[in-house]
Structure 1
Amino acid sequence: MALILALLSTTLLLFFFTSSTANALSLNHYDKTCPEVESIVAKTVEKATKKDKTIPATLLRMHFHDCFIRGCDASVLLYSKGNNKAEKDGPANLSLHGFYVIESAKKQIEAVCPGVVSCADVLAFAARDSVVLSGGPTWNVPKGRKDGRISKASETIKLLPSPAFNISQLKQSFSLRGLSTDDIVALLGGHTLGFAHCSSFQNRIRNFNATHDIDPTMHPSFAASLRNVCPINNKNKYAGVKMDPSSTTFDNTHYKLILQGKTLFASDQALLSNPKAKNLVYKFASSKQSFYKAFVNSMIKMSSLNGGQEIRKDCRVVN
């Protein structure tokens, strides 16, 4: 039964992403219908970031988590209703915040261009603006996504990549979305922004396996520092550490940390177990510009996956 369910999930996932090609995106989609849209989103993200420096990291992660479920259809923005528990309330998304930024931008857009701009496009713009505000590269976001009507917390458990994934699991997960090993390495560079809770790396610093208490790929002194932050029987669910020392700056520090064995997630460290991925880690660690170029290409590729059906008036509920 488990195998049948797994195959069914894979078949459905492939259907969502195959059908997404029906919604062709373009760079000039709003030139005539809502030329102010990108300016409105950029100003809203900038205003929110001035008050809360964690906004860029959460908006970038929010976009990634949205795209990996049913394509970039803003299903992560829908609120739970009745018996349906939505994606935003799934275990992997409970630490997401900043939904108000997208909702605020959408409200402003609706005032000048009602019924024209999708919530999915607003989130894609916000993710790009978050990278730019953090000192990273900019790019032209393809436009014309539609918003989805389905959002299930259960799908976040099945479909979002885990921070404990090995390289084979990462490749399988990303390949279902048409993303390559190059895309995996480039997109994981987004982990240069943000914060990680102890639960996402606890398995690496205690009782790792029958032979090692600590993950042997982790630098001993780094593991020791994490054990201090995340003690045994830790009762503080908010405890954790920054993804890297420059956690509000979008740079290539994350790749340097991988090479030093000082990254938090097993999935990031796993990049060194694959020859092609390892070469890219070295390349990006030594050249920020190479990373930027690859990241932009992979973000455009990932964010072009869309399987939505409508343009929501309110990002929190279907029409």
Structure 2
Amino acid sequence: MLTAMGQKLFPYFTIPFCLMLFLSPLTLPLVSSQLNYNFYDYSCPHLSMMVGFGVWSALQNDTRIAASLLRLHFHDCFVNGCDGSVLLDDSKYGSERNAFPNRNSLRGFEVIDNIKADVERYCPSTVSCADILTLAASEAVRRVGGPYWRVPLGRRDGTTANEMDANTQLPSPVEPLQNITAKFISKGLDLKDVVVLSGGHTIGFAQCFTFKGRLFDFKRSGKPDPSLDPSSLSNLQSKCPNSDASNSNLVPLDSTSTDRFDNSYYTNLKSKTGLLESDQALMGDPQTAALVNFYSTMNQNYFYNDFSASMAKLGNVGVLTGQNGQIRKKCEFVN
């Protein structure tokens, strides 16, 4: 997702003072009064168990699914809020699935559909697809060694999807850091959330076309990205030859611990082996680089605590509650 930006966001803070703030004990942001941790306690008391089993079952067959569910949740929330709109079938309700950042890359729809079908059998017309997706993302991270965070519930599902908004609102792996940060701020997130949520790239894969420019023609220079470690460059060029035939080849975002959620993503950035241009760009700005250094050298729990806090903030973006939206019976279709 991320490249260099100025320091206008925090003009009154020096870097050491910012670090003091980041080192302070952190608490989860206040949960929206419209959401409730106990929302389904009586109407669907075994919801968490059903979601957990669905995610566990999917992971037995596909270790990539944890990263896919996390990304699916992020792409849902970043486009007009966490309303499950990304789950709608693109042939009928718009095409967020068909937007350029999502096309032939978003995965995990069938996992959410299967969980929803189980939930409907026990708790018909009760639990939203948006809540199921939010819970599944949390459960997926926990199942691969990451942190656990409680998810406040009560979201309702949207009834429309928007391909144009998906194309313009989702961050791009070749977009300047300044632009990406502006997109985060528009969602009520901040610069720290950019760095923390980028740490989700400690799991998952990227297709070669998303970073191939760094390998052969960085910013149309005809040369590789000089910020990329030479040995890593050679390895990536062998996996992503300079031809269209390699565009869909998959490369791990974090080759150190591909299927394990940890803080090695930040260590990779320090050693100039970040895969995406937007990842490595975090080392190009003093404020984001300070956070990268902090998460790579301190106890991993600091990253876990902050990741949980940022995910809780993300899960509250643009939620529909009360009488807004609906509880879709199938996540692909409006009732």
Q: Which one of the candidate residues 237, 245, 258 is aligned to 1:247? A: 258
SS of corresponding position for 1:196 = strand
* Match of residue 230 from structure 2: 220
Aligned partner of 2:204 among 184, 194, 203: 194
Give the secondary-structure state (helix, strand or coil) at the position aligned to 2:90.
Answer: coil
CA distance in 2, matches of 1:275, 1:236: 35
Of stretches 302-311 and 50-59 in structure 1, the one that deviates more from structure 2 is 302-311
* Structure 2 equivalent of residue 4 of structure 1: none
Q: Tell me the equivalent position of 1:7.
A: none
- Report the aligned-residue RMSD: 1.6
Task: State whether residues 23 and 307 of structure 1, in contact with CA within 8 Å, keep that contact through their aligned partners in structure 2.
Answer: no
Structure 2: 5+ residue stretches without partners = 1-30
2:91 matched to 1:75? no
Matched, 1:137 2:147: yes
Residue 96 of structure 2: aligned partner = 87
Look up the match of 1:9: none
8 Å Cα contact 2:209-2:248 kept in structure 1? no
Q: Which 5+ residue runs of structure 1 have no aligned equivalent?
A: 1-20
How far did 1:238 drift? Answer: 2.6
Instruction: Quote how far apart the aligned CAs of 1:234 are.
Output: 3.3
- State yes or no: 1:172 paired with 2:182: yes
Other-structure match for 2:316: 304
Aligned length: 298
2:244 and 2:39 mapped to 1: Cα distance?
50
Kindly state the Cα deviation for residue 160 of structure 1 after the two structures are TM-superposed: 0.5
Question: Out of 270, 273, 276, which is 1:262 matched to?
Answer: 273
Residue matched to 1:272? 283
**What's 2:8 paired with?**
none
Aligned mate of 1:283, from 278, 290, 294: 294
Shift of 1:237: 3.9
- Inter-CA distance 236–202: structure 2 relative to 1 (3 Å threshold): closer
Cα displacement (A) at 1:304: 0.8
Letter in 2 for 1:121: D
CA distance in 1, matches of 2:221, 2:82: 42
Tell me how far apart the structure 2 counterparts of residues 288 and 304 of structure 1 sit (CA, whole Å): 25
Instruction: State the alpha-carbon separation in 2 of the partners of residues 165 and 236 from structure 1.
Output: 22
Matched-pair contact (CA < 8 Å) for 2:32–2:316: no
| Match status 1:184 vs 2:200 | no
Paired letter, 1:318: V
SS at match of 1:228: helix
Cα contact 1:192–1:252 (8 A) shared by 2: yes
Q: Retained in 1: the 8 A contact 2:211–2:277? A: yes
The question of 1:314 aligning with 2:330 is answered yes
Task: Deviation per CA, 1:27-78: give whole Å up to 9, x if none.
Answer: 1111111111111000011011001111101000000000000101111100
Structure 2 counterpart of 1:239, which letter? N
More helix by share: 1
- Note the C-alpha offset of 1:154: 2.5
Does 1:203 pair with 2:219? no
**Which TM-score applies when normalising by structure 1?**
0.90
Q: Distance in 2 between matches of 1:81 and 1:201?
A: 29
Distance 1:224 1:173 in 2: 33
SS at 1:30's partner residue? coil
Distance in 2 (alpha carbons) for counterparts of 1:163 and 1:138: 27
Is contact 1:23-1:146 (8 Å) kept? no
Q: Distance in 2 between matches of 1:211 and 1:88?
A: 33
Contact 2:188 2:317 in 1 (8 A): no
Whole-Å separation in 2 of the counterparts to 1:216 and 1:61: 29
8 Å contact 1:167–1:273 — kept in the other structure? no
Matched position secondary structure for 1:92: coil
Task: Classify the secondary structure of the residue corresponding to 1:235.
Answer: helix
Equivalent position of 1:24 in the other structure: 34
Measured against aligned partners, the alpha-carbon deviations of 1:80-127 in whole angstroms (never above 9, x if no partner) come to 235x54111222112122211101111111111111110000000100
Name 1:48's counterpart in structure 2. Answer: 58
**In structure 1, how many angstroms separate the alpha carbons of the residues matched to 2:56 and 2:226?**
41
